[in-house]
Amino acid sequence: MGPIPYGKQNITAEDIQAVVETLQSDFLTQGPKVEEFETKFAQYIGCDYALAVTNGTAALHLCAMVLGVNEQSNVITSPITFAASANCLRYCGGTVWFADIDPTTGLLDIAHVRILLESKPKDFFTGIIPVDFAGLAVNLEAFRQLADEYNLWLLEDACHAPGGSFTDSSGTQQNCGNSQFADLAIFSFHPVKHIATGEGGMITTNNRDFYEKLLRLRTHGITKNPELLQHNPGGWYYEMQDLGYNYRIPDILTALGISQLNRADANLKIRRQIAARYNEAFQSVKSISILNPTAYYPELKESGHAYHLYIIQVPDRKGLYDYLRQHQIFAQVHYIPVHTMPYYQQLGWKYGDFPRAEKFYEHCLSLPMFPTLTNQEQQYVIDKVLEFVNF
Ligand SMILES: *Cc1c(COP(=O)(O)O)cnc(C)c1O
């Protein structure tokens, strides 16, 4: 048995074939595979528009742009997320605010967001970026109600949750990223995520104006659409209407994405089986706590969890981390709280600001969770974890 990472891509012969075919086609980039990936991804998620970009961070950046983030913007996100969820605001000059998490799930706690909103004048804040942390859907219906009260936009960071869902108050299943409640959502196709394209990202929305603006911003702010041009002297003509970027993803990668998407449901099922086995192994172990989604919202069916990560909490996290490493198990910590990063400390945040997030960080460990993890490997991980905590 070789080293076991916490997450890993799964590339099949079909994936390789799809990439090879694209390499042999007329388009390495700006070809038909991009739109095909977008269409299929939008169908998978259940939204009107999907726009593929170079990575999840670029997706966040473009969303911040179309949401109008600027020097006057004050936006709230979770301290327990990857830094990019917050950084996208800084790219546009906005100010990042954090609110503490719910300790049973690691999700941004809506009660703490409300307290923060109430602590400032009513029009102080401009938006919220909730994160479907570990693959557990944020209750966006509740966030939407709060956002409407304060006239805020909602950007869902769904990087951990393609295929995840929650059940809303009318009993309807709401897929992560379907933009039913959020204005925009984003995904990443980094190899540790559910769908791997090497680097890659996606923006999903039901808002046509946002979508059209995003199309331009992805490619320098340029349009060739005759309906949008100010004048049209000939077939060569295009206009750069906004200051955009080159955030285009090549066809080579979207071909891989399409092929990966074909297995998304099957892989999600395996992730849930792996989680069920971990749950069973650890449920009655006193010194291990497992995250408890149903404590957060009782109506959530366990089946809605997308399990990007499987996280346990233990008293001696460093001890367990080191012990597993000694045995070639490369568990990870998700996340070092964003507000404690030196960059955010320079902006005035400090250790101590969000006690629940900090405590979560001090005890959490993400165990191997990926569809090709074998039963034998998982049993080995379980045995080593139990060996350490029972020692
Ligand atoms: C991976 C990730 C990102 C960034 O995605 P990249 O594709 O690596 O740029 C943003 N937010 C969260 C929560 C992520 O897990």
pLDDT tens, the chain, 391 aa long: 899 999 999 999 999 999 999 999 999 999 999 999 999 999 999 999 999 999 999 999 999 999 999 999 999 999 999 999 999 999 999 999 999 999 999 999 999 999 999 999 999 999 999 999 999 999 999 999 999 999 999 999 999 999 999 999 999 999 999 999 999 999 999 999 999 999 999 999 999 999 999 999 999 999 999 999 999 999 999 999 999 999 999 999 999 999 999 999 999 999 999 999 999 999 999 999 998 776 555 555 556 999 999 999 999 999 999 999 999 999 999 999 999 999 999 999 999 999 999 999 999 999 999 999 999 999 999 999 999 999 8
Atom in ligand 1 nearest the alpha carbon of residue 189:
7
The best mutation among 6, 85, 88 to test binding of ligand 1, ranked by most ligand atoms within 8 Å of the C-beta, falls on 85
In angstroms, rounded to a whole number, what is the distance separating the alpha carbons of residues 78 and 339?
9
Signed CA dihedral, 338, 343, 347, 351: sign only: positive
Write out the CATH class of domain 265-389: alpha beta
Q: Which atom of ligand 1 is nearest to the CA of 199?
A: 7
Residues of the chain within CATH 3.40.640.10 domain(s) are: 4-263
* CATH 3.90.1150.10 domain position(s) in the chain: 265-389
Q: At what angle do helices 32-45 and 251-261 cross, to 10 degrees?
A: 30
C-alpha 129 – ligand 1 centre gap (Å): 13
What is the whole-number distance in angstroms between the Cα of residue 79 and the centre of ligand 1? 14
Which ligand 1 atom is the nearest neighbour of the CA of 60? 10
Q: What is the pLDDT of residues 234-266, one digit of tens each?
A: 999 999 999 999 999 999 999 999 999 999 999
Q: What separation, in Å, do the N-terminal and C-terminal C-alpha atoms of the chain show? A: 24
Task: State the distance from the centre of ligand 1 to the C-alpha of 383, rounded, in angstroms.
Answer: 31
Q: Which atom from ligand 1 is nearest to the alpha carbon of 55?
A: 7
**Ligand 1 pocket at CB < 6 A:** 55-57, 81-82, 84-85, 131, 157, 159-160, 188, 190, 201
pLDDT digits (tens, 9 = 90+) for 261-304: 999 999 999 999 999 999 999 999 999 999 877 655 555 555 69
Distance 232 CA to ligand 1 centre (A): 39
Euclidean distance between CA atoms 135 and 164, whole angstroms: 6
pLDDT given at position 391: 84
Query: Could you read off the pLDDT of 181-211 as tens digits, one per residue?
Result: 999 999 999 999 999 999 999 999 999 999 9
3-class DSSP assignment, residue 369? coil
CA 103 – ligand 1 centroid, Å: 22
Which among 57, 136, 138, 309 is the best mutation to test ligand 1's pocket, defined by most ligand atoms within 8 Å of the CB?
57
Percentage helix, strand, coil, to 5, in the chain?
40, 15, 45
Give yes or no: 8 in active site: no
Residue bearing the CA closest to ligand 1, atom 3: 56
Q: Which ligand 1 atom is at minimum distance from the Cα of 308?
A: 15
pLDDT, mean over the chain: 96
Of 33, 193, 213, 384, which residue is the catalytic one? Answer: 193
Class of domain 4-263: alpha beta
Output the CA 231–ligand 1 centroid distance in Å.
Answer: 39
